[in-house]
Amino acid sequence: MAVETVKANGIEIAYETFGDPGARPLLLVMGLGAQMIVWQDEFCTAIAERGFHVVRFDNRDAGLSTHMHDAPEPDVAAAMGGDYTSATYTLDDMADDSVGLLAELGIDAAHVVGASMGGMIAQTIAIRHPQRVLSLTSIMSTPGPRVAPPTEAAAAALMVPPATSREEAIERAIAATKVIGSPGFPPDEEWIAESAGVAYDRAFDPPGFARQFVAIQASGDRTEQLGGVRVPTLVVHGADDPLVTLPGGEATAAAIPDAELVVIPGMGHNLPRQVWPQVVDAIVRTADRAG
């Protein structure tokens, strides 16, 4: 397994694959400021072993994909107040990135799984490119930035000033997980620290995080458009998610005809290893509904 890159939608996209290339294609879309490695290798392998060719990739402004370093400075405060003029792109563009990657890989359509902002992108793919989506899984996500506001503590954890060193990035990651993670499943601080260090070494770009955040705000609400989604859909949400609270998942499932909502007690805004079997089973069940 090695990181490869393709040019799609005008940018370079870094990606990795797991499993048999002839198996059912499944695309994993990651969330705000997060790199594809947050989809842990073992999680990707667990899905691949169920008969899928799994593709994970770095969104624009994250990881080893193109970073918009020459873009105007994003104004997070203005975007939260409804002024989106500093947006360099929207979730539409990020959805088109995803579809461009599939096209470059020769994949006509895939089972699309997104987490957090990745769930928003996955929803947008299903809206903009329905022919490219075999089934849709939206995890700890929402149909719009105003639907499921975070708790005060979670919002503060999200908006903490950027780290100024590798050590500080690791400390921030551990502290953030204690706030937005899963209260029902004790965090593996050793793994969090190791992962945060790897992510920092791989790519550290606070303005990229801000550009993605502004893109979310600028993309508006998808509730009405989601009513037109006609593929088997799974919505997974943690009962104890403080960052994208449970109404986000409930609203997503309510908006999409025949969507299945799976609420996991004790789960916050992450995917602890203990819930993987349940989540993988549900993803497979949803893909099987597509035939």
| Cα distance between residue 42 and residue 279, in whole Å | 13
pLDDT tens track of the chain, all 291 residues?
Answer: 689 999 999 999 999 999 999 999 999 999 999 999 999 999 999 999 999 999 999 999 999 999 999 999 999 999 999 999 999 999 999 999 999 999 999 999 999 999 999 999 999 999 999 999 999 999 999 999 899 999 999 999 988 999 999 999 999 999 999 999 999 999 989 999 999 999 999 999 999 999 999 999 999 999 999 999 999 999 999 999 999 999 999 999 999 999 999 999 999 999 999 999 999 999 999 999 998
The answer to whether the CB of 124 falls within 8 A of the CB of 94 is yes
Tokens of 27: 């695309």
Cα-only R_g, the chain? 17
Q: What domains are defined for the chain?
A: 4-289 (3.40.50.1820)
Q: Are 222 and 91 in contact (CB under 8 A)?
A: no
Could you give the angle at the alpha carbon of 149 between the alpha carbons of 143 and 155, nearest 5°?
125
Residue 6: helix, strand or coil by DSSP? strand
Output 271-274 pairs: Cβ under 8 A, ≥24 positions apart: 271/43, 271/115, 271/139, 272/181, 272/182, 272/185, 272/187, 273/40, 273/42, 273/185, 273/188, 274/185
- Tell me the whole-structure pTM to 2 decimals: 0.97
Q: Encoding tokens for residue 128?
A: 């903009």
